[in-house]
Structure 1
């Protein structure tokens, strides 16, 4: 969240990369604050709905982040990446992005996908274990 907010104007090639980091840092805080407290059936239902909505939002946001971060990372980190200057228009890019911002965003997206894969594996193992 902090890195995204400090680099909001440092990624002209893909303006959504820093926004992705800010929102993905704020989303867990928002959804944890929306969950209901209590022991009744209504509170349990509310927690389930908030949890499902939070997971769905985070999953869709991760897909969007992947679409923004991975292609940008590939372009900016390539050895032949060059920003267009003055009248130069061929063999260059019409935008730039802070490399530390891109490295961090790339790492966060990759870690999020790994965590989702681990959760899916754990759930599948638990279902398999219970049905055996």
Structure 2
């Protein structure tokens, strides 16, 4: 952006002209177009990839949650050292599948009211899942390792190992999400601090004539 200012002391008028270099403007427009519009091949590649990854992750989560319901239901009375572990698996599986259903409903609803209801229900379910995960951690970790043979400290091996693995995996996932959120926040803050302060005016005046004081001191 090139700016030219001319003071005419004799007439007491200041002419301000704000001229943009043609080559620079064309280059900026071309750069903006490249950033906003990606090639067709890239778009057609990324969109199915993201959808496929999302579907695979949701299917894996649904399988794990269904396994928790089945194992917890069949081994309900086979963990006397901590009877709440099978119940923990059953409730965690049911609420996990419910959260997937609500997520799908929230993403497909077009009306505003339905979207708000689905999002509110999803937030409540996620909050319950987090509290339930804390409770499951209190029930699962302190008895590690249990006795896998019949006795007062007995817990069926599949039931306990599944509860231990699912709980640990969920905590690791939450930690990764939290770390990624911090990294994104730090990067955004650095971009804000390194952004140029002197930006061009949003409402520039081209070829405008501004009335100045009758007497002007100094030349520009």
Same fold (TM over 0.5): yes
Please list, as runs of the form range in 1=range in 2, the aligned pairs for 1:1-132 lying within 5 A after superposition. Answer: 1-34=69-102, 35-36=105-106, 37-74=108-145, 76-77=146-147, 83=151, 94-132=152-190
Structure 1: 4+ residue segments shifted above 6 A:
none
Q: Between Structure 1 and Structure 2, which shows a larger proportion of strand residues?
A: 2
Alignment gaps of 5+ in structure 1: 84-93
Deviates more, 1:50-59 or 1:105-114: 50-59
The higher relative CO (CA closer than 8 Å, separation ≥ 6) is in 2
TM-score by length of structure 2 reads 0.48
Cα separation, 1, equivalents of 2:97 and 2:158:
24
Cα separation, 2, equivalents of 1:120 and 1:61:
19
Q: How many residues align?
A: 119
| RMSD over equivalenced CA pairs, Å | 2.3
Residues 43, 125 of structure 1: alpha-carbon distance in 2 compared, 3 angstrom cutoff? farther
